[in-house]
Structure 1
Amino acid sequence: MSNLSQEKATKLSLLNFKNVSIRTFWITSISFFLCFFSWFGIVPFMPDVVKDLGLTPDQKWNSIILAVSGTVFARLLIGKLCDKYGPRLCYTYLLMLGAIPVILCGLVETPTQFLVCRLFIGFIGASFVITQVHTSLMFAPNIVGTANATSAGWGNLGGGANRLGMPLIAAAVVSFGVADAEAWRYSMVIAGIICFCMGIIYFFFTKDTPKGNFKDLKESGEMIFTKKDQIGFLEVLKDYRVWILFVVYAASFGIELTVYGTMDDYLQNTFQLKRVTAGNIVLSFALMNIFARTLGGFFGDKFGKLKGLRGRVLFLSFILTLQGIVLISFSGATSLIVGIVLLILFSLSVQMAEGATFSVVPFINKKAIGSVSGIVGAGGNVGAFLAAMLLKSKSAFAEKAAITANEGLGEQVIKTAQAAASSSAVSSGYLLIGFVVVVTGIVALTIKFSLEEEKEEVKNNGNIIAPELIPVKVKS
């Protein structure tokens, strides 16, 4: 009997571009990178946007909240679409349709138009799910964990690389005679066009599986879709471990998203840094994704071999708790050097926590790995939404109070007071979030596995079982 897994890549040979699995790995990782690049592409230009469109403090924070909230629903939906139509078509349409609000963001004239674009741009955050599905279909069980973690980590780089990349695009645009005040608009249009072109590349240069596309496999009779068992999904919803991991991912990836969206302004307001300098520091934060997320999955596997499934949970709890402690320390940093060191340590720990989370996820319910992954993945955006709401309520209130208190004292005085108020409010928000993360790390210890599940982990020698995300029946 033929089987799709027989032709999956067993090694992550990054330079073997003739291999469809490796080629797909690169294309899906680059696509994920571009989606995150565009998703947060406006962040370095927020001071220009605020001035150009006349955004209020409330509207500025609402744009951050909208950018992460739309992704929650998109992530829950995209997994089912991948099951039905295949990751190739889903990514093609996500890139091409997602490019539209990115381009339109550069053409907005009112705060309302800007907020609507930010909401729909957030949909491209669902690219994470497609990347994980496609990579899982392309790699064998012995390497799929490393491939998944690496593609996710490299894709996440886009969320920080835009701090350097978007200003460079803006500088290039200005060199052609465009006014500085308009550069952010052209930069967003260019980013959207790149995403659209990547969608075309995805369609022509990838396949759904090593054996071919879903459509062709169905027509040849090699792949027959069966209806998903609803009871299985209900069982996932009833599993308390899924919801603990939902909260864990909210406390890791969700907080990373929030930090991506707020750190530029915070560094500028707290340490009086220039925008480019602050962007470069945040870029160093994002660059940790090159290895940190993979490192989290690696140590999760190592602890799994030493202590079984319980070992994976112990490491997840440890690294998440460490993440919270570092964030608490960073919130009180008054020295730029100390702040940068703590920011790098936070980056390392938060991304390792993300990798460690998905070293546990595949063992919760192997018959419903797609449902588990979708729920846990959506948790990241819920966490980002809640954290952004907290920071918004504190910062917007403080900024408005500072503006009122210094009214009539001159624009520069008001601007300085507003920056100081925002810095203090966000700092206290980071402190509170840090304590919540620590508590979440402790709660993670309540994740338990049955004796049968532990025995199966030992039997498989600690290797993550490749999730069969697509419900298929293969004919001989």
Structure 2
Amino acid sequence: MSAEKFKLFSFNGKMKIMHLSWMAFFITFVVWFNAAPLVSVIADSLGLTTAQIKTLLILNVALTIPARIIIGMVTDKYGPRITYSALLAICSIPCFMFAVADSFEQLALARFLIGFIGAGFVIGIRMVSEWFPAKELGTAEGIYGGWGNFGSAAAAFTLPAVALAFGGPDGWRYAIGITGLMSLLFAFVYYFNVTDTPKGSTYFKPKKGGGLEVTSKNDLVLLIIMKVPMYATLALLGWKLSPAGVSMFTQDVTNLIYAGLVFVFLIDFYQTYQVNKHLFSVDVPEFERYEFKQVAVLNVLYFTTFGSELAVVSMLPLFFAETFALGMAQAGMVASSYAFMNLMSRPGGGWLSDKFGRKTTLLILTAGLAIGYLSVAQIDSSWSLPLAVVVVMACSFFVQGGEGAVFAAVPLIKRRLTGQIAGMTGAYGNVGAVFFLTVYSMVSTQTFFYVIAVSAVFGFITLFFMNEPKGHIAEVNEDGEVTLISVS
């Protein structure tokens, strides 16, 4: 693409939308990860135990899985402008609650609710897809995802300094409170400066609410199967909070959570059937069909890519500290090289997708990801630290490039369902994180990296069932008019 078509720092039209959207995403990740770099200070301030700290970290991701599904539906129905603005404003409330909390119970409730803001990523995927043509979409989504995702690293670097600047045992409260204020203020900035589509374009909405539309009976079965791991992961989180885990809940409460998850799954199953029951009586016109297997493959790939990133970012400082006898501060700085790669890796994955095709790029990056984690598994104290850092950074390029390539493909499946598809794929990233961190708690570090590599190999195999998006997506507006949207 020419420089005239994609001026990175232009603040007009589509570039204004892209920049404001990654800023919104950036703020959601600052808020979502604002406690992690301050956890030791918070623990000292309120006298928290190690078990309580672990509980807060678990609660931080618990709500994000269902939140991404819900936010995807809301985005498709009401548009990204209203949805993003509302999410930023509403989620500032639990952020302020966390800042003024005086007990573990108050912290736990606030942390659980803050997890909802982790769904913000999904909204921008739909927004960017509305403003950019298919030939630029991978790069645009990559910049949105990479620069926004950097919010977690920014929080790690800046919030301890902010807390220190305010001084005293309550400095952390001001640091957390400032992130909530950022979220609240930017909600208004976003609302008054964006539109859902360029002037004259149609915003296509789902024909029915309450569940993801599919276009064949086989796809309906596959959709229900793909929902099971998400509920299983929520059950796993419930187990971690049970007496067998960190003992936040009694066994009776844990059993109630399990029963609730079964009930919600049955409701979800019923809603999904209601949205798609017409498949048993009429055929969907050929021009309106899409293959859900495309979504399933992308779910598996994001499970490995973003799931492994969240898990590795959590354990990498300790890995470097133990392997190379570093202090935790030094180990944290070295480990941050993994997250820093987001700034160029994720846009790079999107750009490669635009240039060489979605499927080809995913095949190359997924193979590189598997080799990367196999290499990281070989790191031990006999290695030089610079070499270990280089291998980790190389691995992270394929991980985050793969994330960019996944979301270069997501918006090209079915325009009016982009939010829901992005929500499900994004949720699988969190499912992967919980799975890999659970594995990490049970096996050696080397085995942990091997497990991720095996999941990448599985993802590579599933890619052979994916078709390269090409041609047009057919959408029908509220007046029944058919529009063909180019995806190549």
Give the TM bin, normalised by the shorter chain. 0.7 to 0.9
The aligned residue for residue 372 of structure 1 is 421
- Worse-matched range after superposition: 243-252 or 35-44: 243-252
2:116 counterpart of 1:123: yes
Change (3 A) 1:130 1:371: closer
Please show how residues 431-470 of structure 1 align to structure 2 within 5 Å. Answer: 431-447=446-462, 453=467, 457=470
2:74 counterpart of 1:86: no
Q: Which runs of 5+ in 2 are unaligned?
A: 223-291, 484-488
Match for residue 35 of structure 1 among 28, 39, 47: 28
2:35 counterpart of 1:22: no
CA distance in 1, matches of 2:13, 2:414: 29
Please tell me whether the aligned partners of residues 206 and 416 of structure 2 are also in contact (alpha carbons under 8 angstroms): no
The aligned residue for residue 183 of structure 1 is 171
The aligned residue for residue 110 of structure 1 is 103
CA distance in 2, matches of 1:136, 1:151: 11
Change (3 A) 1:39 1:115: same
CA distance in 2, matches of 1:470, 1:325: 47
Please tell me whether the aligned partners of residues 29 and 149 of structure 2 are also in contact (alpha carbons under 8 angstroms): yes
Amino acid at match of 2:110: C
2:64 counterpart of 1:11: no
Please tell me whether the aligned partners of residues 333 and 339 of structure 1 are also in contact (alpha carbons under 8 angstroms): no
CA distance in 2, matches of 1:259, 1:444: 18
2:215 counterpart of 1:232: yes
CA distance in 1, matches of 2:324, 2:343: 27
Deviations 1:386-412 (A, max 9, x none): 233344x45xxxxxxxxxxxxxxxxxx
Please show how residues 184-263 of structure 1 align to structure 2 within 5 Å. Answer: 184-211=172-199, 225=205, 227-228=207-208, 230-232=213-215, 235=219, 238=222, 239-240=292-293, 242-263=295-316
Root-mean-square deviation over aligned CA pairs: 3.4
Deviations 1:20-77 (A, max 9, x none): 3221211111111111112111111122223333333332222222212211111111
| Cα distance, 1:196 vs structure 2 | 0.8
The percentage of aligned residue pairs carrying the same residue is: 32
Change (3 A) 1:40 1:267: farther
| Cα distance, 1:270 vs structure 2 | 5.8
Q: Could you state the TM-score of these two structures normalised by the residue count of structure 2?
A: 0.73
Change (3 A) 1:385 1:99: same
SS at match of 2:48: coil
The aligned residue for residue 129 of structure 2 is 136
Please tell me whether the aligned partners of residues 136 and 354 of structure 2 are also in contact (alpha carbons under 8 angstroms): no
Amino acid at match of 2:180: G
Amino acid at match of 1:434: F
The aligned residue for residue 412 of structure 1 is none
- Worse-matched range after superposition: 286-295 or 357-366: 357-366
CA distance in 2, matches of 1:156, 1:471: 33
2:429 counterpart of 1:386: no
| Cα distance, 1:227 vs structure 2 | 1.4
2:345 counterpart of 1:292: yes
CA distance in 2, matches of 1:91, 1:301: 26
Deviations 1:286-342 (A, max 9, x none): 2211110122233344543xxxx6534421431221232244234777754444333
Match for residue 328 of structure 1 among 377, 383, 393: 377
Pairs aligned (count): 407
Change (3 A) 1:448 1:236: farther
CA distance in 2, matches of 1:50, 1:165: 19
Amino acid at match of 2:117: I
| Cα distance, 1:211 vs structure 2 | 1.7
CA distance in 1, matches of 2:205, 2:29: 32
Change (3 A) 1:388 1:225: closer
SS at match of 1:106: helix
Change (3 A) 1:223 1:70: closer
Amino acid at match of 1:54: G
2:159 counterpart of 1:166: yes
Q: Could you state the TM-score of these two structures normalised by the residue count of structure 1?
A: 0.75
Q: Which runs of 5+ in 1 are unaligned?
A: 1-8, 395-424
CA distance in 2, matches of 1:102, 1:366: 33
Please tell me whether the aligned partners of residues 137 and 354 of structure 2 are also in contact (alpha carbons under 8 angstroms): no
Amino acid at match of 2:207: K
CA distance in 2, matches of 1:253, 1:124: 17
Please show how residues 256-271 of structure 1 align to structure 2 within 5 Å. Answer: 256-264=309-317, 267=320
Amino acid at match of 1:352: G
CA distance in 1, matches of 2:171, 2:475: 43
| Cα distance, 1:277 vs structure 2 | 3.8
Deviations 1:231-252 (A, max 9, x none): 4386266245533432321221
Deviations 1:240-292 (A, max 9, x none): 55334323212210121223334445555665655654443344332211110
- Worse-matched range after superposition: 367-376 or 228-237: 228-237
CA distance in 1, matches of 2:85, 2:216: 27
Deviations 1:409-429 (A, max 9, x none): xxxxxxxxxxxxxxxx8xx2x
| Cα distance, 1:141 vs structure 2 | 1.9
Change (3 A) 1:109 1:471: farther
| Cα distance, 1:375 vs structure 2 | 1.8
| Cα distance, 1:362 vs structure 2 | 5.1
Change (3 A) 1:170 1:335: farther
- Worse-matched range after superposition: 281-290 or 366-375: 366-375
Please show how residues 423-438 of structure 1 align to structure 2 within 5 Å. Answer: 428=444, 430-438=445-453
